[in-house]
Structure formats: C-alpha cells, structure tokens
Chains A and B, each alone.
Chain A
Amino acid sequence: MNLNRRQVLWAGGGIGAAVLLAACGGGDETSAKSPARANEKPRPGGTLRVGALGRASAITRDPHGTQANESDYLIISLVYDTLTVPGTKPNTVPRLAANWQASDDLKTWRFTLAKGAKFHDGTPVTAEDVVWSLKRLRNTPAGASRLPGIKAENIRAEGDDAVVLVSDYANAELPLLTRLTTFVLKKDTADKDLAKAPGTGPFKLDWFRSGNARLVRNDDWYGGDVYLDAIEVKIFESPQAMGNALLAGQIDVASNVGAVAARTAEKRDDIQIVRRPNDMAMPIVMRTADGPFADAKVREALRLAVDREAMVKQVLSGYGTVANDILGTGDPAYAKDLPQRGRDLAKAKQLLKEAGFDTSKTYKLLTTEDIAGLAESATLFATQVREAGVKVEVVKQESATFWDKTWLKGDLYTTYWGTNDSVVFFASKTMVSDSGQNEAGWKNKEFDAAYRKAMATKDPAARTEVLHELQRIEYDESGYLLWGMADGIDLAGAAVRNLPTLPGYGRVQLEQAWLAR
C-alpha cells in the first residue's frame, strides 16, 4: 500500500477512508468510468439520490430569500423556473421565457413566456404571476444587486404572455441577469404558504424535511421530456461525509463535492468524476487606488512572479486550468488570443526595481477559509513571489471579519466568484469605476468607455469586438491576478447519465439526467 503524504493527511478528514479502501483493492465492480455514451437511448424511470451541501441552520424555503445552502437552491431550482438559465453557447438560454427582444436603445426588454407553462396545480402561468414574482424579488434587501438597474415599478406585464423590463441604462446583457433567482410563483402567494407554493418546474415537491426533500416528475412540464421518476435531495454539512456516502453507495450523485473527493474516487472504476470547467475563480486582488500596489508595474511584476501551473497542480489537485488574469473565462466572448502570461522572475524583479517597490517590507495577504483551496492558494502564492524578492505574509481572517473589514478595502487579499461565464458580469460588478463591488478600487476611463460602448452595442459580433478591447485593458491594468480556474466537481455512480457539465449554478439542471439501470 503506497499512500502519499497528502492522502494520509486527508485520512484524518474521514474521506481518506476511501483512499485506503481503494488501495486495499476495491474495484470488483464491473462497470467502467464513462460519462459520455452518446448513442445510449435515455431510459425513463428511477429515483436519483443527490447529495448537496448545506447547513441546517441556514435552511430557507423562500425562492427569493438569501440562499446559502446549495441543497436549498437545488430543490428550489427543480420546483420553480427562472426566466432564463445558464447555457454553454450562448451563456443564456430560454426557460420560462421562450424568447426576448430589446428596444434599439437596449433599455427596454420584452420577454415572451413559454407556451403551455403551467403551475403544478394546473393553472397556467400568466404575465401577472411573473411580474409579481420579479417585483417580490426586487423588493428583497438583495433585490438591487439581483436585478441591477431595474426598478420595481419598471417591471410590467404586456398582455397575457409577455413581461417588459425597463432598465435605467442601456444593458445588452440584461437577460443574463434573469438566470439566477428569478423564480416564478403564483401571484399573491403569502409568505406563510411559501413552503407549499406550486412551481412550474420539471419536478413537483413531494415532501421536505429539515433540508432533505423528495421531488417527483412533473409530467406536464413545458420544457421537454423528464426521465427520472423522482429526485431525492439529501443535505450534507461536509463534503467528506458526502463523499463517503457516495463511495458507500448511499447516494448516486455528490454535487459539488470538490477535488479532494475526486482524488480519492480516481481509483474506483464504479464512480464517475464529472468535471465542470470554469466553476470557481479565486483571484488575488491588488488595490489599484492607493497603497503599495497602485503602480501598474508592481501588479504586472506579481502577475509574472506567480507560477500558475504549480498553483493549479497543488491548490486544485490538478482539477482546474491556468488562467490569464481576465475574469469571466467561460464566456463565449472570452479573449483567448491574448498571450498567456507565464512566469518570468527576471522581468518581475526588473519591473519592481523600475517602480521603486520597497522589497524590505513584508506585505500582508489577507484570506479566509470560506472555500476549499483559498487559503492554500494564498500560502503558495506567498512562497512563489518570495523568489521575486517580494515578502508576503499570509493572514487568515475569520469569514465575517474578512467581509466586514478587508473586502473592497484591503491592499492585497484573495476573493472568489462562482459566476464565470460572463466577462460583462465582472466588468459591471467589480471593475467599472462606479461599480458597487469594485474590489481593487480600480478607476480606468478607457475601460469605462469600452464597457459603456459594449453595453450599448446591439449587434453581437460588434459587441464581441468591443468586449475584446475591454478584456485587453483588464489584462494589462486591472487589480486582479487570476492564476487559474477551479473545476466544479461532482461524483456520480456508474448508472447516472447526462449530468450537466456547466459551471456554477448550471449544475442544478438535473431535468435531463437519467439512470441506466
């Protein structure tokens, strides 16, 4: 039995059990690892048992509430429909909204509802229901960030089957904003009835208890064939326990279980590892507004000092890809042609010298343990940049302290984002001068102009061109050092077919899944 140090370390966490098991000679199961069998015909029937992360204290049943639990979001997404959902290319595809058109000034957007869409109690979905739901969403404390630029009074019905949203400013990517949490409920659903409120989604709620739920197929779903009879969602507090449950055959899918579990499952022939690229960005933020990293040369030096391959290999256990300091790597409009930055210590040192950077000082890099790998990325980064003569000390902060004191304010800190299929998402949220979450305090007139031009360009090809220019500026001057992208990782039993491979919340689209058994 040959265990490496990392595996032995993980054994303490419980999941190492599987490593030992695999090493002790598992693999007597017959089926093989093969997620893609395109010629197979989907088989109807069966119950899919899905494990998802969540904490019992954070359970919420409100589709428009603050969802911290992946398990809650999964349940809600299967029962209720959003107007649009994430796709591969384009990144926004129809759901309850069958199609959408913009006015010439890109401010007024008209969404036409899908034909035949019905609530689970049989009543048809009307534009009034959608308007009521969107207004309800907009009026939550988080409403302004969920539907940015759209005031509640600017959401209105047009006839029975269309909804019009008017944005305060031109926004070519408005449909993208409706992918998350625009869940539609019946008009005037009272808060106390939320738990049993009928949705329009591919599955109906059978029961819900303490974060666990059983959902049964909605045979009347307007969105196409659903194969599974039922989905059972099981809430897991820790990825370790979820991994163990999958290895022991107690669940069929361990959703977003992470790289550590994947490594232990590599040796098992009867388990599929589903990799969803571009799932999580963990950039390092260097403050541009003031402080030691305000000089663009210093930021460029750090970007050249980091060893990206080593970061992906060690921090992400190899389950990821090298990135190029531009956020939104999954966007079809992502600028793939910009030269990939590599490690160049000599040039980094030279840039630091030119900028007069004080290498005698030790700089603090603030981080948290909010997500797996984040604090590790900070530590490895600190080791790597030391070779360029920059002394960095990693300071781990407790989550609440970090978001309160460091985020948006610190000179050097780690952050993370789970929506990575849109360049514009980051530009609008974190990089335009007046954006609410300008993490690096970046103000760049050229970038702002490119952003505004992109937002006002209706023709997709022309917009992609403007977005390319925007990404070039970001690549050269922003406050981000994005060394890599983590894959989202699900584990699945051998019989599970057609799981989504989309990043982020695309993983909840289980309506196409089926079981080969």
Chain B
Amino acid sequence: MAGSLTRDEPAEGTVVPRPVPAVIRTVWYAAGVLARRILLLAGLLAAVFAAVELLPGDAADATSERGESAADLARRRHLLGLDRPVAERFWDWMTGLPTGDLGTSARGEPVADLLAHPFPNTLLLGGLALLLTLVASVALGCWAAAKPGSPLDRAVSASATGILALPEFVVAVALVLVFALWADWLPAVTLTDADGSPASWRMLVLPVLALAVPQIGWNTRIVRAALADEATAAHIETAVLDGLPRRRILTHHLLPGALPTIAAGIATSTGMLLGGAVVVETIFNYPGIGSVLAGAVADRDSPVIAGVVAVTGAVITGVLLLADLVRAWASGGRT
C-alpha cells in the first residue's frame, strides 16, 4: 500500500483506515493551531472589555461636555448602551464580528470606518518594516557568519546589540532631526491625500526605518546565533570536509537548518513592530491605528479598542501561523 506509514496490521473485518496525505495533515495541523489562536484572541478581547470596565470613568464621562447634569450623563450612557452589563455588551460586539461589524465609537462613528484607512496604512508601514528587517537581518547575519570571529563579525554583532537596545522614539527623533529638518532630504511628517493614504512614498522612508532599525538589531543577533548553532552540526562538518564552496554550504546547508529559529525571531518581531508603530506613528503623524488606539484608551471607548485589538490580533495570528508552518516544514518533522 503506497504511502502507508503505519506498521500496525489492520484487524480482520475492520475498515482499513486510509492513510492521511501530508497536505491534509498540514491543513489539519494549521486548523488546530488557528482554532487555538482564535480562542486566545477571543479571550483577549474579553479581557479588553473587562479591563476598560476596571478603568476609572467611562466613555459617557469621556465624551461628555462640562456642565452636563447627572440626568444628561445618564442619557448619554443609555445612548451608548453603557447601562447594560459588560458581558452583554461584549457578546453583542462579538456576535457582530463575523459580519464585519465592529460596533460604533463613543462619538457615533462606525469603528469599521475609523479603521478603514488607518489599518491598511499601519499594515503597509509594518509590512515594509518587517520586510526590511527580514532582508537586512538575514544579509547581515550571513555576512557576519561567513567569517566567524573576524573583526567584521565582531563589528556586526556589536552594532546589532547596540541598536537593538535603542527605543523606536530615539531612532525616530534622530531620523527627523538629521534627514528632515537638517538635511531637508525627506519629509518630517506624513500627510495624507484624498484617498487616506500617505501622499508620497517618500513619507514612508523615515517611519519604516525608525521601526525597522531596532528589530534589525535584534534579528541579526538571532540569525547570527542560529547560523553559529547550525555550524556545529555533523552534516555541516561533512559538507566542509567534502570541500563544498562556502556559499553553497551557507545557502544549502546552514540557512535551511537555521530557518526555524529565524522564522520564530521574525514572527516575534511582528508584535514588536505593531507595538512600536504606536510610538512611531505619533512622532511622524503617520495616519495609522496607533493614534486610534491611544485616543480610544483615553476615551474608554471599548468598541474601538477591541476593534484595533481584533484586526491587529488577526494579523499577528496569521504571521505566527505562517512561522509555525515554516518551522514545521523546515524541520521536516524533527520537532
């Protein structure tokens, strides 16, 4: 029976279990991971509603004007549905989610509208930063690993450590200072045009750099360490003894082995990038979800906060799933 991997003989008279093809196994595995992550996200959203509930004041207070009487406030609270139990509001919000309804902000705007332009903008910013992080850190890591212990290796590793410790806002302020206000090469802030996206690609350069630089530092270290780890493996030693060219050893032997670790590192950076985006977006006035989130927390605006968490959570879930799959595929069942 082709493809059968089981050694157990089927018992007489029972239906022979069909062997599960690899594709289905992968899909099954992915579905399992996805289901767990979705549950986790739902739990997180419940925690968001609960946490906002615990903060002093509520959205009715936050959006009221000075001089509203207690009766006016009660009316506002009723209009916003805040007089209902938090569990009920959470349930209402969650049941709208599958239809794409993210609820209404405390100021009466549909949350989906509030996120419609900022979210793709943040994805663009984060995606570009992630891509730059991936390319730069793999290139730098490989470059350093090519001659272990050389001055070059030490220089790359040391500067990687240096910049990974830099907070995004320090990088961002330095970039604005040098490239926008002093040299006048690039715009200082991001302005949007009629379609809600940055008016020019040049406005993306500095925010992407500010976001990516600390992550490049972090991931270069990971790539370098993963390659060093892999270099001690027996098959690499064999390849070296076989006299294979260095480049071939790197691309065909070292990198594939180090891939699971690199994938995990990059996946972790996704969360860090989205977190850093909140700060970077403020400094560059980048029209993303960072400012939406910061304002929503100040306003105790649960539907908006939950909306931001849901969409970013979905993206992070997707990236982590992808990383899991890469790892499963690259390790070929070794894990």
Contacts and interface: CB of A to CB of B under 8 A. Distances in A.
A337 B134 CA distance: 70
A27 to B, nearest CB: 13
A405 B57 CA distance: 9
Contacts of A210: 114, 116-118, 192, 196, 287
- Count class of interface residues, chain A: 35 or more
Contacts of B300: 400
Interface in B145-199: 172-173, 176-177, 180-182, 184, 187-189, 191-192, 194-196
Interface of B: 55-57, 61-69, 72-73, 75-76, 79, 105, 107-109, 114, 116-118, 172-173, 176-177, 180-182, 184, 187-189, 191-192, 194-196, 281-285, 287, 289, 291-296, 298-301, 304
Given A141-B75, A237-B285, A244 B194 contact: no
Among A55, A61, A210, A401, the most chain B Cβ lie within 10 Å of the Cβ of: A210
Given A66-B63, A238-B285, A250 B181 contact: no
Nearest to A22: B181
Contact of B173 (A12, A146, A209): A12
Given A214-B194, A250-B189, A237 B65 contact: no
Nearest to A435: B67
Contacts of A103: none
Interface string A3-35: 000000001111011101100100000000000
A436 B191 CA distance: 42
B181 A17 contact: yes
Contacts of A209: 117, 192, 194-196
B313 to A, nearest CB: 18
Nearest to B297: A57
B176 A404 contact: no
Contacts of A145: 65-68, 72
Given A17-B176, A248-B188, A250-B188, A237 B107 contact: no
A207 B194 contact: yes
Contacts of B189: 236, 241-242, 244-245, 248, 250
Nearest to B121: A210
Given A17-B188, A57-B114, 14 more contacts: A13-B173, A17-B177, A58-B299, A66-B107, A141-B76, A142-B68, A143-B72, A207-B194, A241-B283, A248-B184, A248-B188, A400-B56, A400-B300, A436-B67
B233 to A, nearest CB: 47
A244 B181 contact: yes
Contacts of A58: 107, 295, 299
Given A17-B177, A68-B107, A405 B56 contact: yes
A244 B188 contact: yes
A62 B195 CA distance: 21
Given A58-B299, A210-B117, A245-B188, A144 B285 contact: no
Rank and list the top 8 A-B pairs by shortest CB-CB distance, nearest first.
A400-B57, A55-B295, A57-B295, A145-B67, A248-B188, A209-B196, A241-B285, A17-B177
A283 to B, nearest CB: 14
B68 A241 contact: no
21 contacts: A14-B172, A14-B173, A17-B173, A17-B188, A55-B295, A56-B289, A57-B114, A57-B291, A58-B295, A60-B108, A62-B107, A66-B65, A141-B73, A145-B65, A207-B194, A210-B118, A237-B285, A247-B188, A248-B180, A250-B187, A400-B57
Contacts of A250: 187-189, 191
B194 A237 contact: no
Contacts of B304: 57
A86 B125 CA distance: 42
A401 B285 contact: no
Given A57-B296, A141-B68, A209-B192, A247 B181 contact: yes
A404 B68 CA distance: 12
Given A17-B181, A18-B181, A209-B195, A236 B285 contact: yes
